[in-house]
Amino acid sequence: MTDQNILNQKHIKAIKYIRNWLIHNGRTPSVRELMTALGYKSPKSAQDILSQLRKLKIIKKLDSGNYKLVSNPDLGPVHAQTVNIPLVGVISCGEPIWAEQNIESYIPVSVSFIKPGFQYYLLRAEGNSMDGAGINDKDLVLVRQQSMADEGDKIVALIDGEATIKYFYKTKNAIILRPKSSSNQHKPIILTDDFQIQGVVIDVISDSGL
């Protein structure tokens, strides 16, 4: 675990900015974006901070040249008890959503949302297929990992390697995943057993509140 004492204020400011950018934009900022945000005059200063964070094992460079947060150090006083929940990014076909290679970062979440004995993850919503259920584009959705669901639950389903959030319903011969959208372009998905339930939606963190 990273020692809080070896993080200076520049490190902390960079980590906070990287984490917030990741939540809102679905990726980490470029060197120039980080340079501008931190008020540096040259990309080298931002690159130096990134190099230091790599040595501290807070970020990891990816084969693409981009990077991701792999540690979530204590960045200051916390007024509520929290636990670090993984924020999931791109889903690889055939892998569980919460597989390590899919994790972009870890976000502190109040323990009041967490039920002991379960694992949780955060997923970034895309599109408006569930805006009628209060889940809008770029919102973060808190999901409790489980492979079963009750009628009417909002679930995360993995279909052909892609995650989707829908209402879960069962008939005698089929599973129906229903959207709740302001747009009529979104239709129910009718399935048999050719999908996986990856969790049940517990709460939604609006993008406007982040």
Pick the closest to residue 118 from 203, 197, 205, 199 (CA basis): 199
**pLDDT value at residue 192:** 84
Residues ≥6 apart with Cβ < 8 Å to 205:
122, 139, 140, 141, 142
Q: How far is CA 175 from CA 120, 157, 179, 189, 190, in A?
A: 24, 11, 13, 8, 6
**pLDDT value at residue 2:** 46
Query: From the candidates 68, 105, 154, 166, which is the catalytic residue?
Result: 166
In sign, the C-alpha dihedral spanning 157, 162, 163, 166 is negative
- What's this model's pTM, rounded to 2 decimal places? 0.66
Task: Encode the chain (210 residues) as per-residue pLDDT tens digits.
Answer: 444 457 888 888 888 888 877 766 667 888 888 998 888 889 999 999 999 998 988 888 877 777 877 776 666 554 456 777 888 875 544 556 666 667 788 888 887 888 877 888 998 888 889 999 999 888 889 999 999 999 999 999 988 777 889 999 999 899 999 999 998 899 999 998 778 898 999 999 875 555
Pick the closest to residue 176 from 161, 201, 200, 157 (CA basis): 157
Residues 118 and 146: their CA atoms lie apart, in Å, by: 8
Tokens of 112: 């009041």
Residue 53 sits in the same domain as residue 147? no
**pLDDT value at residue 165:** 92
Q: At 167, which helix (H) or strand (E)?
A: strand 162-170
Residue 55 sits in the same domain as residue 106? no
Residue 86 sits in the same domain as residue 61? no
**pLDDT value at residue 67:** 82
The three-point CA angle 107-164-148 to 5° equals 85
**pLDDT value at residue 93:** 47
* Residue 176: strand pairing partners: 169, 190
Q: In which domain, by residue range, is 51 found?
A: 4-69
**pLDDT value at residue 6:** 74
Query: What CATH number is given to the structural domain containing 194?
Result: 2.10.109.10
Pick the closest to residue 120 from 152, 156, 153, 91 (CA basis): 156
CA 74 to chain centroid, in Å, comes to: 19
Q: Is residue 179 part of a domain?
A: yes
Q: Is residue 76 part of a domain?
A: no
Residue 134 sits in the same domain as residue 180? yes
Pick the closest to residue 58 from 9, 10, 109, 15 (CA basis): 15
166 included as an active-site residue? yes
Residue 119 sits in the same domain as residue 184? yes
Number of structural domains found in the chain: 2
Q: How far is CA 187 from CA 1, 154, 155, 157, 177, in A?
A: 46, 16, 16, 15, 9
Query: What CATH number is given to the structural domain containing 49?
Result: 1.10.10.10
60 included as an active-site residue? no
Query: From the candidates 68, 105, 129, 154, which is the catalytic residue?
Result: 129
Q: Is residue 138 part of a domain?
A: yes
Tokens of 156: 């995360």
Q: Is residue 77 part of a domain?
A: no
Residues 182 and 11: their CA atoms lie apart, in Å, by: 42
